[in-house]
Amino acid sequence: MQIGIFGRTISEGRKESVKALYQSLFNKGASLHIYEPFCKKSKSLIPDGASVSTFTSHQNFANTCSLLITIGGDGTLLEGITFIKNSEVPILGINTGRLGFLTGFSNEEIDIAAEMAVEQTFSIDKRTLLQVITDPDPFNEFPFALNEATIHKTDSSSMITLMVKRNGAPLNTYWADGLIISTATGSTGYSLSCGGPIMLPESANFIVTPIAPHNLNVRPLVISDEDELSIKMEVRGKEVMLSVDSRSASISAKQTITIKKAPFPVRLVRKPDQDFLKTLREKLMWGNDKRN
């Protein structure tokens, strides 16, 4: 079995984790298909005798691997999705970062992750993606986001005006520093830090969250993920910053941005006994009070 591995950086404290992952997969008979820049950084950590190949793009990854393992934080997993695209290859995240809502395996569970990867004993969560439509597309033909799409101002001194329509009908006009359109999966990300609600991943909804809105009566709004949003902007400058997950690009403020549910999901690997609410309690320390 050939298993893909994606990472970005290897700090001194992360080397043992990477070495343990390579060794565990090798011991279980897997071939390693490693992201080329990461392979170069971790070459000394690969076991002698391991079968290793590399990939640099979706074209030389998706047709060769049955699974992608990311090692890092949630940002690493989000970037890993750009290699999977619509191939339906499952993605397993090992969290060597900080909070880690998307990465379902801890640094101490590397052997468990490797065993599940090789024996295919994991469970799959199908997560909705956002599709962001602009002309031209600045995201290399993959304008999709698992967490959120965000429109930011580029001028630090002024707000932007965002006129939003839902299914062709006016929804609201936001005077703000920006606007976040989040999936249920992304509700624990940027939207949460801007006052948005936490939603269960299986919720069929999007969240519209303004960033520092001028009107105090404007609050995050939950809509159906079957809705289509169109957004027009008025700004002092000529451009706005558009982000899809961890990727950003400047686009003309004269564009209309369309955001809707993508035609395919992402398949996230989780442990069979993993529970989202348990993860919330652990990550956000709910109930972690000496009065309890």
Q: Which CATH code for domain 2-128+265-283?
A: 3.40.50.10330
The reported pLDDT for the residue numbered 110 is 94
Q: Which among 66, 129, 84, 147 has a CA at the least distance from the CA of 265? A: 129
- HEC string for the chain: CEEEEECCCCCHHHHHHHHHHHHHHHHCCCEEEEEHHHHHHCHHHCCCCCCEEEECCCCCCCCCCCCEEEEECHHHHHHHHHHHCCCCCCEEEEECCCCCCCCCEEHHHHHHHHHHHHHCCCEEEEECCEEEECCCCCCCCCCEECCEEEEECCCCCCCEEEEEEECCEEEEEEEECEEEEEECHHHHCHHHHCCCCCCCCCCCEEEEEEECCCCCCCCCEEEECCCCEEEEEECCCCEEEEEECCEEEEEECCCCEEEEECCCCEEEEECCCCCHHHHHHHHCCCCCCCCC
Predicted TM-score of the model (pTM): 0.92
Check 74, 125, 177, 245 and give the catalytic one. 74
Confidence check: pLDDT of 92 > 80 = yes
Q: Which CATH class name applies to 130-261?
A: mainly beta
Neighbours of 98 (CB within 10 A): 8
Work out the pLDDT band at 292, boundaries 50, 70, 90: low
The Cα 204–Cα 195 span in angstroms is: 20
> If we measure between CA atoms, which residue out of 32, 37, 52 comes closest to residue 7?
37
pLDDT cut 90: percent of the chain above it: 76
**pLDDT, tens digit, 9 for 90 and up, residues 177-220:** 999 999 999 999 999 999 999 999 999 999 999 999 998 899 99
Q: How many other C-beta atoms lie within 10 A of the C-beta of residue 202?
A: 12
Average pLDDT over residues 265-270: 95
For the record, the structure tokens of 85 come out as 């695209």
* pLDDT tens figures, 149-184: 999 998 777 899 999 999 999 999 999 999 999 999
Residue 177: the pLDDT is 95
Q: What average pLDDT does the structure give for the chain?
A: 92
Beta bridge partners of 72: 95
Tell me if residue 273 is catalytic: no
Residue 274: predicted pLDDT = 84
- So what's the pLDDT on residue 48? 94
Domain with CATH 3.40.50.10330 in the chain: 2-128+265-283
33-67 pLDDT per residue, tens: 999 999 999 999 999 999 999 998 877 776 788 89
Segments of the chain assigned to CATH 2.60.200.30 = 130-261
